[in-house]
Amino acid sequence: MSLTQVVYRKSFHKLFIECLSQQRQPTEEEIDLIAGEIWRSSHGCVTGQPWADVARGSDSHRQMMNAARAALGVHSKQLRASNDEQSLVTAA
């Protein structure tokens, strides 16, 4: 069984708890898998389009990836760091 299959079978809650207990950020692969679950639960069940067929870089793909990051607590930290960096550049 590949890592992708193992991670795919994890529930969001188990992945979230694992990341917290190990004090680590989720990998991009884990974020993508959660994004796929969000897609399947929302748009995918309506359109029938599998997550693998959503074009990377498209608005839909970005929205699902951002939703997954937010759900895992990654998104807000990245935005805060990005805003802090931008403030430093503007102040200089």
pLDDT in tens, 42-89: 988 888 899 999 999 999 999 999 999 998 888 554 544 544 544 554
Task: Give the total number of structural domains in the chain.
Answer: 1
Q: What is the pLDDT of residue 61?
A: 95
d(CA 44, CA 85): 36
More confident residue, 78 or 14: 14
Residue 5 has what pLDDT? 46
Domain hosting residue 75, numbered range = 3-91
Burial class (CB in 10 A: 0-12, 13-18, 19+), 66: middle
**At residue 18, does pLDDT exceed 50?**
yes
pTM: 0.67
